[in-house]
Structure 1
Amino acid sequence: LHDLARRAKPFAEKDFAEIKAFARESLNIEDPQSWDLSYAAEKLRQAKYAFSETEVKKYFPISKVLAGLFAQIKKLYGIELAEKTVPVWHKDVRYFELKQDGQTIGGVYMDLYAREGKRGGAWMDGYKSRRRFTDGTLQLPTAYLVCNFTPPVGDKEARLSHDEIITLFHETGHGLHHLLTQVDEVGVSGINGVEWDAVELPSQFMENFVWEYDVLAQMSSHEETGAVLPKELFDKMHAAKNFQRGMFLVRQMEFALFDMEIYHQEDEGRLKEWPQILDKVRQEVAVTQPPAYNRFALSFSHIFAGGYSAGYYSYAWAEVLSADAYAAFEESDDVAETGRRFWKEILAVGGSRNAAESFKAFRGREPSLDALLRHSGFDNAA
């Protein structure tokens, strides 16, 4: 965490200087304060990377997106998905079997559209885990993948925004972690028993492919012209992806280090000294300082009621792991072979092996920050 903060901070300082200059020159805010920054940053983002999310959405019909997702899975792992008619809880739910060399190895329910009474958000969970019973019978894994995309209207096909495509790939990554397991002990097969700070590796890993132009172009078709997503529009989207990335990362380091530091304290010290602990962390990593009356820590519910006690760092750690894993594919001349190793060493083993050992088995070394920094646009972040 300290190393990532140190290497990201110079880029955060550049981000901050850019916001201040824009606020002075374009917003008539001579000395922007902490409460001005979100407003100024959004105005700057619009000025630099203006593009229409509505126009982007016109390029991505759900049928093409799913076909592109399935094609990517086949490219990585040689797995095919075949739709099958089974009992479902709503007419919009679809079921797909995963097949390897013609043999069924698992299945997934996809419930993709919002509707009245449905819980919001997006998630994946296991319906059945792979397990071998005492009589030798093998239960194949089944998952359900739930999203809340805008449903089709009339005879028009549903279309997804780029953020929704990212969500779909993310949750599919979780699903593949559960479905491609080779472990027969139910407590550690699939996603079961995987450490908190590694469970997001397969999901965030899949997000990377949605930032490849060739992948997006393959799944795009404009609703009026049938044209693929223009490269110029993609370039704007990609540039906006890392907007203010330096400030975002050091802010995450502030949260993660504060969380880690207070849980290193004795209970009494934690209660009495948290303002001094937070101030010390901010002096190291932050490029902006809130006013003295700010009480951010009192509403930092993640680390008190949200289950992240001393674990907030896992957000950034999962990004480190996923970026480094994806870099293996960037470096490889044989995607299928690299995909086979990722399956064997990461997805197949579930919680049966320590996640750090699994990552080293795949990458051949300890995780490195370099790929995350490079993907964040931080060239030469020594």
Structure 2
Amino acid sequence: MNAAAQNFSKTYREARDRFLQAARAAGGRVNHHEHPLRGPEGEVLATDVARIGPEDAPFILALGSGTHGVEGYCGSGVQTALLAEGFADGLPDDTGLVLIHGINPYGFAWNRRVNEDNVDLNRNFVDHAKPHPENPGYEELAEAINPRDLSPETMAESRAHMRAYAERHGHRAMQHALSAGQYTHPNGVQFGGLEPVWSNRTLRMILREEMAKARRVVFIDIHSGLGACGEGEIICTEPETSETYKRMRRWWGARVRSTVSGDSISSNVPGSITVCLAEELQGREVTPMGLEFGTVPIAEVTMALQADNWLHQNGGPDNPKAKEIAKTIRDAFYIDADDWKEKVTAQTRDVCRAALKGLHE
């Protein structure tokens, strides 16, 4: 096993323990934000924050993991690996390193991409006092996206409906219908919620506590599931004409892609974490990104999400298929192979080093 791989884990509990041990060994100050629910073995769930560097640092590099629950296997492993290898030892004296572990701890522990309310957290940061964004493509495909059962016949019918939609409207429209979020089907895939959920409120509090004194902040939210296996894309949610995008291209080059321009592997979705950063850290220069690592073909990811959602509506962990489906969705968002773990860690390390350089330009 290589050096990076030994920092990745097989369960949320193991991942949390490893992260906290590595944070303390690196001299970090650790805070815990305990979730009201428990994990599958009765374990405590929490969003944990490790901070290294001065409390009043004008520059902050932050890394988040587990926004999409089960994707925390990737993000947590990378965070722990960077701590264990001594990445924080090279921080400039005026810079703080903030690691936010398990932003959606419930989904992480229960092997779900969504939270305890079936909410996709990265679609939840909208203004819920206003009319929610519409997704007409999802409405047209709702029955196909959320099949009544997982039989071969039903799944084949689901794929046929989605192929037909793509043929009529194009593959980008198909991707948007599937992934841009929806606010009308609480038990469906990609539900964005009707109010700020626990993880939304907790993350906002963490940002105010840890970053209010900073002048410049880079926030790297680690994701997995889109793109070529092991390859990372830096996702910007602002247009190419924005100062944020121009800054990101200057720091990280061509691997930066904008969702607004349609250049990214990700759709341009409402209510992502970048909205939260902009709202909570007004008056500061904030450079927020999604760092997305590829796993398996998108068709397999889609089927895993469909199976997970079907399970949610049919008994959840009490269903006889629960363990099988939990493994299916975990495998869709996390490649349990040493070379993949080393690859995603190395790329994140490079992105972080460039961020430190950029913060001081």
TM-score in terms of structure 1 length: 0.25
Larger Cα Rg: Structure 1 or Structure 2? Answer: 1
Q: Per residue, is there more strand in 1 or in 2?
A: 2
Q: Per residue, is there more helix in 1 or in 2?
A: 1
TM-score in terms of structure 2 length: 0.26
